[in-house]
Structure 1
């Protein structure tokens, strides 16, 4: 056995659905308003995970205009042994206003995990977080949260199960099976498993905040009745104290913050068995800024070892329900601490596949590799939810340096190119080459958006000779410093002072009314804006992110 550190997938990698086929492990995670959508990671040892592919990469779902934190939620991976097909269920959350969570759930299949995946087949709009279960008798079932909108009824609703025809997607009669197995409430993300003659129903509970957890019930028949885990508490959480929160559709539950844990918000998990018969749950977690309850990195993927006790109930190997920052995995394994670093010089007409774009897809209409440079054509402003020209990667550490070299000549004050930090269209930090206000020279300035309010640091302005600069952002626990140089061998100079960017976090942004903010995560990016003629191009020589954990 080897001891590894959580998270196993740092940065925005929430709602993990874990699957083993043979010696290979896969995890699918939510991507919200980001394209390509649905990240699928791969591992052979449970410790080291690499982004393998995306399930939605050809414009199958339109995410333009998506409000934070809607979009693509809670993908669920499964494997049908009888047909040898991989299946993926997911939902597209389109609207959250007025607590009317309008979601469309879909399924896709593939012969290989890398695809090609079939065109998404519509399942239902009853709620969100669908999952598939392939029973031993060849029948298939879908489980989902039925979203409750009536006044006076327990929110967010019932967990429902129905038989489903595959591959056609026709759903049978829905069966309401539970509103939860503990008093934490806010149950969602149902997942079915079968073990020793029982159907086990794994649920996320307690909301997406500090009371989050994983709870479980079981039944002899798939439609129930389901009996709750006799402890009456989650089997995994970061906040093991009892909480009564029935009827609360969701909440941050800041009172449940655990000052003795390095990891918070542990919940929404899925179960996997190793070839040797050991059991693990992959689940989401967060790492707040020191001394604060703000989580810039969003919800990350963690791992806990589990066991079945003598009564046939699933529990953590130490008998507690407190998520741990360390976990033992089989074999002699060493985690690659530099795996999340990026150093892309855009060689061979290729850019790193970890680059993602908010709201819309990547196409040669606006991004391309040429002669060892990434060319980004400017389009809408960074406030746009339609077509911002942003190439971004997930922030995976609370301590890192982001660096690039950009060449750009603006012909209009609406043309810019540069580097920055991004949460969503209302919340970002942008260090850009732009025109001086008198339209005579190219200058370097900082532009910031905080909850939709624009701030231009025009007092801190530097003239850029030859329209070219190397830029560096030094990020440390929510604080950022900006540096620049105009000669490769020159000394770095600081631009402005220290910028407080702690608000670029799940709790610091302005999400939908009724939400605590968002639950997506911070990204680093290079990009360009052209609200003039959509003709200017930012030319980037490299892109690097070096973590300093």
Structure 2
């Protein structure tokens, strides 16, 4: 059986492709660098993170991008001996308030690009610019060798729904650009917010798969088909072929944004994004994840889930393929190599050497103090995804700050306005000390601080325990016992849903290490190790 989600913790907008006996899924990374996550499997059950292809400034530069901008909805295909990867780089999605939060606005900036590679692990080409008319681009390779770009069309004009339909335009490989007239082939249904197009050809029909209802609780997968590429497209008899919008008891919610793949023996599987809300708060701290389940073509030529109910499945039937397991990722990273471990990412910049080094002090991750927590430019924050509702993380940091503008520590982070930060700093009254700064959404006073706790000079271990919506911080000096802060912090704010209305948030919770020097002198902090251990549950450690 397949245990869903297959890609846990902030892996949304899946695009899947099979090449021989290998399956690859590309997912969105938004403002986290490098861009696009690609996972690999040989049996559709076991998956490993393989690579991130957008690694240099010519491909992706997100300095200044708002939270939840950056890389949206990649599409990964294979044809003509090449992997084709299309992605959106979102530069603006909403207004920015004085607090740094994003709100609604009609004018958006979406730029769509294409990169290619003969190997899934690269090197990937410099990008070809495609268009800026909307987001969620995908590339369709027709049977006659012609190629077509599809994307959601954005309409900013007053009185319009913003989501104006699915555009199709031919792409010329020889010219490296779109050619001919763009056509609106599908304007969607009454569910609205039509996006995420993928096109397939089967038995004389063009099948169009889209997402509708928005990427929250009303999300769903819509299918339509036509004998002609340009339509008209008739709707699936059920219209929405997969959704949890009317199933509040389903373990997987927010199901939508799907793609299809066939096994060598002709079985069809659908990947789609989903969310697992906290039982007590109903928020998805793990972000939007990726699930997969088999679907079947009926005698009427329409695709349905196996039981016809259209329900996302926590357990799904696996294909008849040999089991292929991968080694489990390590729980502890000691930073003993010159490359950052694959699980970790940083924010926005294509120049990581400005933020951190693994060679300046071998065996340590050195973070150079940069801008404040939540900066949209150069922020020295290196973190990994939270992938379970209950986990423990810890690190050891060597850091001797001289004043209160220098900080370093352990952070549970969603974005500029949502984080809990256990950090070490210094002031003239207490000297070196540790405290927590929390940035809380939907509050007039957005920043909250705990009382400082004095520390001696020398290394300090920092730790966090997360048990669903409960979060606890602790610290330890030398070989002593863990000292737990008396406060219980709210982990449920590290979610898409914990937000003011109109503020777009589409990522997930991270846990990692950070360092700031807001005086501009670049004082560094050295981190000796980082552990991340998932648990069935966590007890209150205080």
TM-score, normalising length: structure 1: 0.91
Is residue 2:519 matched to residue 1:532?
Answer: yes
The aligned counterpart of 1:26 is 24
Q: What residue in structure 2 maps to residue 96 of structure 1?
A: 93
Measure how far apart 1:146 and its partner are. Answer: 1.2
Q: Distance in 2 between matches of 1:412 and 1:466?
A: 14
Distance (Å, rounded) in 2 between the aligned partners of 1:27 and 1:323: 18
**What are the within-5 Å matches in structure 2 for residues 357-506 of structure 1?**
357-361=346-350, 363-369=352-358, 370-438=361-429, 441-451=431-441, 453-459=445-451, 461-488=452-479, 490-506=480-496
**Displacement, 1:31?**
0.9
> Is 1:541 aligned to 2:528, yes or no?
yes
Q: What does residue 35 of structure 2 align with?
A: 37
1:173 aligns with 2:181: yes
How far apart are 1:170 and its partner, in Å? 2.5
Return the offset for 1:362: 5.2
Displacement of 1:319: 1.6
Match of 2:102 in 1: none
CA distance in 2, matches of 1:20, 1:366: 37
**Alignment match of 2:52 (pick from 51, 54, 66):** 54
Question: Taking structure 1 as reference, are residues 419 and 362 closer, same or farther at Cα in structure 2, changes over 3 Å only?
Answer: farther
Q: Is the 8 A contact 2:407 2:424 kept in 1?
A: yes
Larger deviation: 13-22 or 69-78?
A: 69-78
Q: 1:4 touches 1:335 (CA, 8 Å); kept in 2? A: no
Counterparts of 1:340 and 1:318, CA distance in 2: 35
Counterpart for residue 306 of structure 2: 317
How far apart, in 1, do the equivalents of 2:288 and 2:493 lie? 16
Q: Which residue of 2 aligns with 1:236?
A: 242
The CA deviation string for residues 430-476 of structure 1, in whole angstroms up to 9 with x for no partner, is 111110342x63111111112385535342x3222233111110011
Q: Which residue of 2 aligns with 1:268?
A: 257
Q: In the superposition, relative to structure 1, how do residues 481 and 338 fare at CA in structure 2: closer, same or farther (>3 Å)?
A: farther
1:224 matched to 2:231: yes
- 1:249 equivalent in structure 2: none
Shift, 1:71, TM fit: 1.6
Q: Matched residue pairs, number? A: 520
Q: Report if aligned partners of 1:189, 1:204 keep a CA contact under 8 Å in 2.
A: yes
Deviation at 1:497, TM superposition (A): 1.6
Question: Offset of 1:521 from its aligned partner?
Answer: 0.8
* 2:65 match: 66
Q: Helix, strand or coil for the counterpart of 2:457?
A: helix
- Structure 2 residue matching 1:96: 3-state secondary structure: strand
Moved more, 338-347 or 21-30: 338-347
Unaligned runs of 5+ in 2: 95-104, 537-542
CA contact (8 A) 2:61 2:350 kept: no
Per-residue deviation, 1:337: 11
Q: Distance in 1 between matches of 2:19 and 2:186?
A: 30
Instruction: Tell me the SS of whatever aligns to 2:178.
Output: coil
1:543/1:362 CA distance change after superposition, 3 Å: farther
Unaligned runs of 5+ residues in structure 1 are 242-257
- For residues 273 and 217 of structure 2, the distance between their equivalents in structure 1, rounded to whole angstroms, comes to 12
Q: 1:519 aligns with which of 506, 513, 518?
A: 506
CA contact (8 A) 1:216 1:234 kept: yes
1:376/1:538 contact within 8 Å kept:
yes
The Cα offsets for residues 352-391 of structure 1, whole Å up to 9 and x where unpaired, read as 1221112223522331123211111111010311111000
Does residue 299 (structure 1) correspond to residue 288 (structure 2)? The answer is: yes
Q: CA deviation at 1:276?
A: 1.7
Contact 1:480–1:501 (Cα < 8 Å) also in 2:
yes
- Aligned-residue CA RMSD (Å): 1.9
* Conserved 8 A contact 1:47-1:333: no
For 1:545 and 1:122, locate their aligned partners in 2 and report how far apart those are by CA, in whole Å: 39
State yes or no: 1:189 paired with 2:188.
Answer: no
Counterpart position of 1:135: 142
Deviation for aligned residue 1:340: 6.1
Aligned residues of 2:76 and 2:83 also touching (Cα < 8 A): yes
Q: What is the distance in 2 between the residues matched to 1:155 and 1:371?
A: 51
Q: Is the 8 A contact 1:4 1:334 kept in 2?
A: no
Cα distance change, pair 148–397 in 1 and its aligned pair in 2 (3 A):
same
Q: Is the 8 A contact 2:137 2:152 kept in 1?
A: yes
Deviation per CA, 1:49-92: give whole Å up to 9, x if none: 21111121112222122223222110000111xx2111011111
Q: SS at the partner of 1:122?
A: strand
**In 2 relative to 1, CA 475–127 (structure 1 residues): closer, same or farther, beyond 3 Å?**
same
On the 8 A contact 1:367/1:374 being kept in 2, the answer is yes
Specify the alignment match of 1:245 in structure 2. Answer: none
Deviation of the 1:332 alpha carbon:
7.2
